[in-house]
Structure 1
Amino acid sequence: MKLTAAKLNRFLLFKLPSAYLCGVRVKEIDFNYCKVTVKHRWINQNPFNSMYFAVQAMAAELTTGSLVMLHIQQSNRNIAMLVANNKSKFTKKATGRITFECRNENQIESAIQNTIATGEGQTFWLKSIGTNENGEAVSEMEFEWTIKLK
């Protein structure tokens, strides 16, 4: 069963309902790219009339985590994944529709190959950049993923 945007959105509804209720949706995913959007609304706002940072973090993490899940699925191995660390940078008020994008530049494949070859856990960083409807960056988030064979 290949991961698709529709399957990931159904996963959100049942496994991460807070993200689903806040409007986080996967729009595109392939082997090297994932795009997630979320619109600033009453349910996901902060007291300063912009999108709450945690909602942005959910959308950004989803872009990176979906790519990791897709690569683990492709490996046909039983591999556990977990966020070990994250860094965030906010540069502009997040209002309107925010689009988060993550591009895999072979970090995931390399880590999976190393963990399969050595049996040891591996870590790697993935970055997701959130932009508003004008194409301006509103936030950048990096997630350190750990993977290991189960």
Structure 2
Amino acid sequence: MEPVYRGLGRCVCCFWLAVAFDVIGLLVLLVGVFVNVFFYDLLIYAGAIVIFLSLVWWVFWYSGNIEVLPAELEDDVGLIKKDKDALGAITGAVRRLSSRVSTGIRNSFRRNLTAAGGPTVPNEPVVVVTMATLTPNERNLESSMECDDVMPHTTMETSPA
């Protein structure tokens, strides 16, 4: 037997958290507005933020109480009826085709991954690149040998203030 929910619905905890956040946020906000303290702006902002955060609990409460009939859930959770009509046959064929295509694509990605974790291309030559570290003197020497063009000196124009 299915339990009967009255009044607040299934998510009573979310409802009371939302109400508590609203009340606390409103109290903090009103203290910031009407009490003469030097940090009134902090209280106003904090109260507004707490009231805003109560929206999360209101959304949880509302979405937790949405009623969905089992007939509407059939397609979403895989409880598909075995229809004998043409639409059911077409739907089944499309589902099987979609499953085969997605499985084929998924398996092709799995086959191309090596043990090292990178994709491989069959019969592709492997290129090995060696790298060496250079000392600061060698870097300056090589950079001066590579570049013959010298960038002209430019000045920046400024407008008189």
Q: Give the TM-score taking structure 1 as reference length.
A: 0.28
Larger Rg: 2
Structure number having the greater strand percentage: 1
Structure number having the greater helix percentage: 2
